[in-house]
């Protein structure tokens, strides 16, 4: 299995194009965040400009909004469009059985989950490296928390087994802040045997806005890899 950076980028581009092919004119579409979701938006932008595809998008991050706007894609909000036909997004881990996810390494997990639950259908696009047998294989669970009292929130997370790393900005040692001005605590729980229970435990802690466990909510997965593209339902 090749893990060459240029090959991975080709995988992302291919799966992005296939993801974008699911969108038809007149749809209301959630636009995910992260590098693979960006490939979907780029492919949609190309179709918008070259094919005359017309739809309305709800972006899950400021970065995604800027990318979509660069192609002229029409955007709206969930306030104006609370029900979506389709949401397409990437993931950091996807289980082969059940399609459970860890998302949020890009920092947009709260908005991504809100948009997902506004959509009738949720399709995840990934390259083959993201497929795992069990969540927690190589990715911590991002937990979005309010800055006020985050230390106390972290203590509660530690009590349920988390080994915590505070998300920092790449260019400095300042705290990373989400588009909603919240912090992210990356919580390593090891291999997760009961993701349903863990999601509930995390989200009942006061100070937690949302966690990056997306359980029993994925309809389809598009996977690009060394043996081609797979569309799992």
Q: Is the pTM of this model over 0.75?
A: yes
Give the model's pLDDT for residue 171. Answer: 87
Q: Would the annotation count 105 as a binding residue? A: yes
Does the residue 210 lie in any domain? no
Do 14 and 53 lie in one domain? The reply is yes
Per the structure, the complete domain to which residue 64 belongs is given by 5-132+215-232
Do 30 and 110 lie in one domain? The reply is yes
* Average pLDDT score, the chain: 98
Do 37 and 95 lie in one domain? The reply is yes
Nearest to 157 by CA among 111, 103, 204: 204
Average pLDDT over residues 172-200: 98
Strands (E), 189-227: 208-211, 213-214, 220-225
Give the model's pLDDT for residue 2. Answer: 46
Do 195 and 124 lie in one domain? The reply is no
pLDDT tens-digit readout, 78-136: 999 999 999 999 999 999 999 999 999 999 999 999 999 999 999 999 999 999 999 99
* Catalytic positions: 112
pLDDT tens-digit readout, 37-63: 999 999 999 999 999 999 999 999 999
Do 81 and 36 lie in one domain? The reply is yes
Nearest to 156 by CA among 215, 100, 201, 213: 201
CA 75/CA 98 separation, integer angstroms: 32
Q: Would the annotation count 104 as a binding residue? A: yes
Q: Please, which residues bridge with residue 88 across strands?
A: 31, 123
């Amino acid at each position: 299995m090749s893990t060459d950076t240029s090959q991975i980028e080709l995988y992302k581009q291919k799966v992005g194009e296939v993801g974008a092919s699911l969108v038809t004119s007149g749809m209301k579409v959630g636009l995910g965040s992260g590098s693979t979701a960006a490939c979907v938006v780029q492919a949609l932008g190309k179709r918008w400009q070259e094919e005359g595809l017309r739809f309305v998008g709800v972006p899950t991050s400021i970065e995604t909004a800027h990318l979509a706007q660069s192609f002229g894609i029409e955007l709206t909000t969930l306030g104006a469009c609370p029900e979506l036909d389709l949401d397409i997004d990437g993931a950091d881990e996807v289980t082969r059985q059940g399609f459970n996810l860890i998302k949020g390494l890009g920092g947009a997990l709260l908005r991504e989950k809100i948009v997902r639950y506004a959509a009738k259908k949720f399709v995840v696009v990934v390259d083959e490296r993201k497929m795992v047998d069990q969540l927690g294989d190589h990715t911590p669970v991002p937990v979005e928390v309010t800055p006020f009292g985050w230390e106390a929130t972290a203590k509660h997370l530690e009590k349920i087994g988390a080994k915590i790393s505070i998300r920092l900005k790449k260019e400095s040692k300042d705290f990373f802040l989400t588009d909603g001005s919240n912090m992210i605590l990356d919580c390593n729980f090891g291999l997760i045997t009961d993701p349903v229970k863990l999601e509930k435990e995390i989200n009942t802690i006061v100070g937690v806005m949302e966690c990056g466990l997306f359980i029993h909510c994925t309809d389809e997965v598009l996977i690009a890899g060394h043996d081609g593209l797979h569309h799992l339902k």
